[in-house]
Structure 1
Amino acid sequence: MSYACQRELFDLPDGLTYFNTASQSPCLNTSFSAGERGLRRKLHPWSADRAALPGEMERCRDLFGGLLGATADDVAIVFATSYGIASAAANLPLSPGQDVLMLEAQFPSNVYAWQRLADQSGGGIRYVPRGADFDWTGPVLEALDDGVGIVALPNCHWCDGALVDLEPISAECVRRGIPLVVDATQSIGVKPLNLETVPADFIVASGYKWLLCPDMMGFMYVAPKHQTGMPLELNHAARIDAPSMETGSGLGGRLKPNARRFDMGAADSMVHMPMCVSALEQITEWTPEAIHGYLSGLVDVIAQKAEERGFICPPKARRIGHFIGLYRDQAWPADLEAQLAARNVHIAFRNGALRISPYLFNDEADVDRLFSALDAELD
């Protein structure tokens, strides 16, 4: 299924071109309305609507799990990518002398917890440099050997969208018995990712980018074999068989026998939950396949116009499809992001790349507006 531009479902002013979903997505109009309903529950916490929260949490688990081919039992609700990665690192062993394998210049949320684990265990970190022509997959496969104890990767580089093909990588991890942890923040919900072809141990994603969710919300898939692990927090909601708080202390019980034991404390946010449900339902209705197909067409046009101007970017076979980073032989002007914003064109710079990340509210007229602004500023 394919879609036309869905700008009317967002509150973007006329004349504004927003190409920065990889930093922060605007929420859907329906999610904003759901958040207002949540705020009314906070304003009036005696409201009967508060009783909807447990069902909203389960709906979020089910929807996020559905994007991967997992069940609600496999999904924890977490604050952010860093929280989920820390949970994974706390539940995976690393033997002395073994390395955690990751990309060079990988996003910090999927780095620091592994550095600490390596320091504590007597292991190391193996950073894989990018290969020629924006190739990450080949170098990662070449680096996978018996000295690797954990593989922690995204499925694209956060700066420029250069692809990390997790299917052959995960197959090699399975063959060698190496756990795979995926930071899917820059891909889940907009690029198909299925556990049948990428059988990861943990998959973590912050929600405020491509999942269209509010800040401080994210999700973590936990493979069944890790669902008896130890969570970062020990809170009442993560337990079953605990005494009632209405008639007793609430202390006791056992940790839940599934991924729910890894939930962050206060996961039952009256404001955030209905917003997440609205966003994930819309993404599920659109489907990641259709979203990626639409955005890939826009990114192809962006790449063509960039190459016509002598800019450098990942080639089509080596990029994820839904966003792209542009480079040039000389550094970009230091104030270019601000100058483009003054023209109502919003992008981001990441590690030297001019990162352009569209969504379904963009069309080719936005691409033309972007390059007209670039031409004017770089003339």
Structure 2
Amino acid sequence: MTPDTIRPLFELTDDVVYMNCAAQGPAPKAAAEAGRRAVSRKSRPWEQERNGLSQEMARARELFAGFIGASGTDIALSTATSYAVAVAARNITLEPGQSVVVLESQFPSNLYAWQLLAERSGATMTVVPWPSDGDWTSAVLEHIGPETGLVTLPNVHWVDGGTLDLGPIADVAHAQGAAIFIDATQSIGVLPLDVARIDPDYVACSAYKWLLSPDQCGYLYVAPRRQHGEPVEHNHAARIGDGPMTLSPGYGRTFQPGAKRFDQGAADAMIHLPMAVTAMEQIAEWGVEAIASGIEPIVDRIADEAANRGWGVPPKPYRSPHFIGLTLPEPPMPDLAERLAADNVHVSLRSGRVRVAPYLFNRVEEVEILFAALDRYVRSAA
């Protein structure tokens, strides 16, 4: 599995340096073709192919569950992490005086609902400051105590790829009786996550990044102990009707088993599901560990080139293998990403850092092109 074998599977021309998967993962050609077939299916809904939606939903659950060591029955279908957070916030109870542990500069979708829950519950927010040594795990552990009611974290910081070891964090959180919510949007599809080891209450993932899926595709793992909670919305597909809709209104008080009760309305997206399933099947075929090991040499080379210029990067022991944030010697020009894009080099600017997120299709030589473009707009501190 090399860039030369992977690149033809994507719509990438030789002049494009795309290192922005933390913002938007490109759909493989096979997934795009599945989407075109799905659009055709949408234009002819009277044909039998529409009847495959329920099987596609089940397959999507199974594939996502396979990436985290769960069962398909534990997975709800959502469109965004913010929806998954809303489900969890509906079902997690905080007491006055308890605290919610979050990271400094945590992604907004995994912050706003918890701020509101804390305010309504008389709880407080505990913000873990950015560690100067890059060791988020130790920093978080220092902020979990008897007052902690909820630990809601990513396992990779979205700004610069700094990692958290959720195993020991979960051990301490469980010992304090705290609930655990994980936003794994920036890792699932590239890094393993073992729910049996961590035993979280919820794990959310928006799939349009590292799962190479369309926008409005997402998943929510719901621990079995949480599967009798209340959904955010009450749609007909989440319940078992007392009678068939063909002969009755289809009303019913009994929820679907497992996590299905938390499915977002219109989860049976006729166009999105085939694309998401095809993309995840490709990822499963490559293997998560192989994907990470394939990207890591590119990230390491990026880190070396940045360090040679005196730019800051997360230390190797505390950074992810698949993307990295570069801290420049002075604040970057606001339109730096647009200037680079004009040079056909695609990265993101996030919270003052240049976030570079390559994939298996990137060649080592592209790192030189990236830094040649950066050098036109950023001075060296070395």
Is this a same-fold pair by TM over 0.5?
Answer: yes
Matched residue, 1:345: 345
- Calculate the TM-score normalised by the size of structure 2: 0.97
Report the Cα offset of residue 130 of structure 1: 1.5
Residue pair 2:202, 2:222 contacting (<8 A) in 1 also: yes
Q: Does 1:254 align with 2:224?
A: no
Identity level (%): 47
Matched residue, 1:149: 149
Any residues of structure 2 matched to 1:62-141 within 5 Å, and which?
A: 62-141=62-141
Residue pair 1:67, 1:192 contacting (<8 A) in 2 also: yes
SS at match of 2:91: coil
Distance 2:183 2:242 in 1: 33
Report the Cα offset of residue 3 of structure 1: 4.7
Q: Does 1:162 align with 2:147?
A: no
Which segment drifts farther, 123-132 or 82-91?
A: 123-132
SS at match of 1:378: coil
Report the Cα offset of residue 377 of structure 1: 3.1
Q: Deviations over 1:268-316 (max 9, x none)?
A: 0110110011011111111111111111111001000111111111010
Report the Cα offset of residue 135 of structure 1: 2.0
Distance 1:80 1:334 in 2: 27
Matched residue, 2:187: 187
Report the Cα offset of residue 364 of structure 1: 0.5
Amino acid at match of 1:9: L
Residue pair 2:159, 2:350 contacting (<8 A) in 1 also: yes
Amino acid at match of 1:309: R
Matched residue, 1:9: 9
Distance 2:241 2:65 in 1: 25
Any residues of structure 2 matched to 1:269-308 within 5 Å, and which?
A: 269-308=269-308
Report the Cα offset of residue 355 of structure 1: 0.3
Matched residue, 2:34: 34
Distance 1:3 1:281 in 2: 18
Residue pair 2:2, 2:361 contacting (<8 A) in 1 also: no
Residue pair 2:336, 2:349 contacting (<8 A) in 1 also: no
Distance 2:2 2:329 in 1: 36
Any residues of structure 2 matched to 1:316-355 within 5 Å, and which?
A: 316-355=316-355
SS at match of 1:305: helix
SS at match of 2:13: coil
SS at match of 1:273: helix
Matched residue count: 378
Report the Cα offset of residue 252 of structure 1: 1.8
Q: Does 1:221 align with 2:221?
A: yes
Residue pair 2:3, 2:362 contacting (<8 A) in 1 also: no
Distance 1:3 1:202 in 2: 35
Residue pair 1:349, 1:355 contacting (<8 A) in 2 also: yes
Amino acid at match of 2:306: A
Distance 1:341 1:363 in 2: 18
Amino acid at match of 2:230: M
Which segment drifts farther, 53-62 or 313-322?
A: 313-322
Matched residue, 1:370: 370
Matched residue, 1:237: 237
Distance 1:244 1:88 in 2: 31
Amino acid at match of 2:120: Q
Unaligned runs of 5+ in 2: none
SS at match of 2:196: coil
Amino acid at match of 1:377: Y
Residue pair 1:228, 1:257 contacting (<8 A) in 2 also: no
Distance 1:183 1:343 in 2: 33
Report the Cα offset of residue 336 of structure 1: 2.0
Which segment drifts farther, 358-367 or 369-378?
A: 369-378
CA RMSD, 1 decimal: 1.2
Report the Cα offset of residue 246 of structure 1: 0.7
Distance 1:12 1:371 in 2: 20
Unaligned runs of 5+ in 1: none
Report the Cα offset of residue 177 of structure 1: 2.0
- Calculate the TM-score normalised by the size of structure 1: 0.97
Report the Cα offset of residue 375 of structure 1: 2.0
Q: Deviations over 1:161-201 (max 9, x none)?
A: 11111111011122222111000000111111111322211
Q: Deviations over 1:226-256 (max 9, x none)?
A: 0000010111100124321111111124112
Q: Does 1:44 align with 2:44?
A: yes
Amino acid at match of 1:360: L
Residue pair 1:129, 1:139 contacting (<8 A) in 2 also: yes
Q: Deviations over 1:107-144 (max 9, x none)?
A: 00000110111111111111110222222111100100
Residue pair 1:191, 1:292 contacting (<8 A) in 2 also: yes
Distance 1:318 1:223 in 2: 28
Matched residue, 2:25: 25
Distance 2:378 2:221 in 1: 44
Distance 1:221 1:116 in 2: 22
